[in-house]
Amino acid sequence: MRKDHYIFPAIFDFADNRISIEFPDLPGCLPCANDAQKAINNAKEAMALHLYRLEQNEDDIPEPTPITKLRPEQNQAILLIEVLMPVYRNAIENRAVKKTLTIPKWLNDLAEREKVNFSQVLQDALKTSLGINK
């Protein structure tokens, strides 16, 4: 079920100027960093992207394992990582996507002379074509 707020435990593994992160409940979500602050930021972003992909694929999102059931090794620490999905969903869904297209040279030359913003024109045309009034 899609939620707006998730908290999952992450195992931070400290070794030689490198921090590897594992989410026991989110296989394949394996961020890393060189310092603690960057590790926390990377863990949040990786977890949000992983959960977003699960949501988009309509896959089940597991329940977080209670931290009392996790047993870190000596060089590890368990942190609870929290993400607010509306922030990440908005950023992902509104990021710019590069598209390659072709138009006749004469039309390109005329539009460039008139300093037409090709991206804006394409966006406006797509919205009109799709009946979107945003």
Q: What is the pLDDT of residue 2?
A: 83
Q: What is the pLDDT of residue 16?
A: 85
pLDDT bucket at 133, cuts 50 / 70 / 90: confident
Nearest-angstrom CA–CA distance, 12 and 43: 9
Q: Which residues contact 55 (CB under 8 A, 6 or more apart)?
A: 2, 61, 85
pLDDT bucket at 77, cuts 50 / 70 / 90: very high
Pick the CATH number of 5-93 from 3.40.640.10, 3.30.160.250, 1.10.10.10, 3.40.47.10: 3.30.160.250
48's tokens: 């949000």
What's the whole-model pTM score?
Answer: 0.79
Q: Which residues contact 101 (CB under 8 A, 6 or more apart)?
A: 122
Nearest-angstrom CA–CA distance, 15 and 81: 20
Q: What is the mean pLDDT of residues 103-115?
A: 95
pLDDT surpasses 80 at 134: no
Domain boundaries of the chain, sorted by first residue: 5-93, 96-134
